[in-house]
């Protein structure tokens, strides 16, 4: 499983999640593309399973669903050029410029909509597992979830 990215002083839970996803994405893009979805999903689950990070991630997700300012924060995190995920991915890939969702889609050679579809799979799992605590997904192991969901995400991101 990818190394944990704990929250450092001054960093948010979304920042730690962005760091973890960027590192996993960069490793797969510059190495084993066939492991891209697995790496991203494992990195995400590692953050969500961390008891120090999860409450903050849940607060950000709840704010995104219930408040326009929270939604704007999540949109910026997930797709804008200032996006923590994509700008950190650019740095992890050794690029000098920050990336946005369209540039990442170009690197992956998929439509940007595919990236949103992959995000929807992960956020849907997060809502069922950590907010609704719906069984059996809430008690499934991370390995079970990766085995189940990664192939769909892989199809979106690699084709």
pTM: 0.85
What is the greatest pairwise CA distance in the chain?
44
Span 41-64, average pLDDT = 94
pLDDT for the residue numbered 5 = 45
pLDDT for the residue numbered 11 = 60
Report the first-to-last Cα separation within the chain, whole angstroms. Answer: 24
Contact 47, 20 (CB under 8 A): yes
Tens of pLDDT along 5-40? 454 444 688 888 888 888 888 888 877 788 899 999
User: Given pLDDT bands bounded at 50, 70 and 90, which one contains residue 153?
Assistant: very high
Tens of pLDDT along 72-94? 888 888 876 556 677 778 877 88
Q: Higher model confidence: residue 6 or residue 113?
A: 113
Contact 73, 65 (CB under 8 A): no
Asked if residue 105 has pLDDT above 50, the reply is yes
């Amino acid at each position: 499983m990818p190394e944990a990215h704990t929250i450092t002083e001054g960093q948010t839970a979304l920042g730690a999640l962005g760091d973890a996803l960027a590192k996993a994405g960069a490793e797969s893009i510059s190495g084993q593309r066939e492991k891209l979805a697995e790496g991203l999903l494992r990195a995400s689950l590692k953050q969500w399973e961390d008891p120090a990070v999860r409450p903050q991630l849940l607060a950000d997700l709840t704010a995104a669903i219930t408040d326009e300012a929270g939604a704007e924060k999540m949109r910026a995190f997930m797709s804008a050029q200032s996006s923590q995920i994509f700008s950190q991915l650019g740095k992890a890939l050794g690029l000098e410029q920050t990336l946005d969702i369209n540039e990442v889609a170009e690197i992956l050679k998929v439509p940007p909509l595919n990236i949103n579809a992959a995000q929807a799979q992960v956020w849907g799992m997060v809502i069922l597992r950590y907010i609704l605590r719906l069984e059996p997904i809430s008690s499934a192991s991370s390995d079970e979830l990766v085995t189940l969901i990664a192939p769909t995400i892989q199809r979106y991101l690699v084709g």
